[in-house]
Each structure stands twice: as C-alpha cells, then as structure tokens.
Amino acid sequence: MAAAARHAPLGQRDALSLLRAEHDMLLRLFHEYELLQSCQARDDGRKALLARRICRELMVHAALEEQAFYPAVAQAAGSALLDDALVEHDAQRLLIGQLRSLYPDDPCFGATIAVLAEETRHHIAHEQGALFGCARSCGLDLQLLAQQLAARRKALERGTDAHAAAAHAAAFAWSPRLDE
C-alpha cells in the first residue's frame, strides 16, 4: 500500500490502509519508548505515561480487529485463518496485564515492554501478510469495511454498546502502578 493511500482523508481510505495507519501508530509508540529507554536520563514518569498509552492503544486496536475486521474475514474466508491472530492478541493482553502490575523502575518493566513490542511487530507482520492478502483476494468490500471500522473505533473509544463498553473498560482500566 502506497504511503499516499495511508495518508488519504479518512473517508477515502479502504479498510487495509486504515488498519495499516493504526499499526504504524503502534510501532511509532514502541519506537518512542525505545528511544526514551536508551536515554541516559532516567524518566520514570514519561515511561509510565507512554506505557499506559501503549497498553490502551493496543487494547482498543485488538478489540477493533476482533469486533469488526476478523468477523468480516471469517465470514468471507472461514475462521481458521484467524486462530493465530487471536492467540497473539491473548498473548498481548497477558503481557499488558503483567506490565500494569509493575512500577516503571522495576527491572522487568523495560523487558516486558520489549517483549510486547516484539510480539506486536510479529503480529502486525502476520496480519499485513496473510490476513490482508486474504482480505484482498476473498472479495471483501474494503470501502464498506473501512466505514464499519471507523464507526467501531468511535464506539470503542466511547464505550457506547455492551461489546464496546467491555473492551473500553478493559483498555482504560486504572492501573495503580502506571496511573500514580
């Protein structure tokens, strides 16, 4: 997908360029954390803020895919293709749970983010390869799906229905260690 398509106005993007833009945002956040980690100056406050944002964005993004993108792929091509992706989302949630139980000055904090970043990069490569390829070849209406994804994202950010509310609550859960 050309960079121009990824930066097209929201209404003109197809579902895959929308998801790619979300993936790029997640990768940028991890990169930002890695830069912060490599600085000599210790800044636990900024690390906590960034880690909290990474956790929230990842949780909302995973819910968006599970509530809008994966069902569309499953309907068009069967659900077996999604097994790995769902396990990868569960692994991300476990790591996020672990991260939320650590203080930023804990020696395991940086290592947990590093593993989460690695998992996420692997997961994104898998999605943009196998799943995006399938979404393109199985006849999904990618413009319509883009509208559904945009609407779902708004619902998840606001928690406007039962599914969205549960995912919103999990994504924005208060963490005593990261929110202090």
Which residues sit at the interface with Fe ion, rule CB under 5 A?
65
> Helices 162-171 and 142-158, interaxial angle, to 10°?
60
For Fe ion, the closer of residues 70 and 109 by Cβ is 70
Minimum distance of Fe ion from residue 23's CB (angstroms): 8
Residues 6 or more apart from 135 whose CB is under 8 A from it? 15, 16, 69, 72, 73, 76, 142, 145
CA atoms within 13 A of residue 63's CA, in its CB half-sphere: 26
* Two tokens, residue 116: 């989460």
Residue 127 C-beta: closest distance to Fe ion, Å: 5
Q: Which is nearer to Fe ion, 94 or 108 (CB)?
A: 94
The residue (of 96 and 102) whose beta carbon lies closer to Fe ion is 96
Minimum Å distance from CB 59 to Fe ion? 11
Q: Which is nearer to Fe ion, 13 or 23 (CB)?
A: 23
CB 18 within 8 A of CB 146: yes
Q: Write down the least CB distance from residue 168 to Fe ion, Å.
A: 17
Return the number of the residue (14 or 65) whose C-beta is nearest Fe ion: 65
Using CB atoms within 10 A of its CB, is residue 111 exposed (0-12), middle (13-18) or buried (19+)?
A: exposed
CB of 15 to Fe ion, least distance (A): 13
Residue whose C-beta lies closest to Fe ion: 65
- Cα 74 to its chain centre, rounded Å, is 19
**Per this entry, what is the length of the chain?**
180
44-64 and 107-126 are packed helices; what angle lies between their axes, rounded to 10 degrees? Answer: 30
- Between residues 47 and 152, which has the closer beta carbon with respect to Fe ion? 152
- Closest approach of Fe ion to the CB of residue 101, in Å: 23
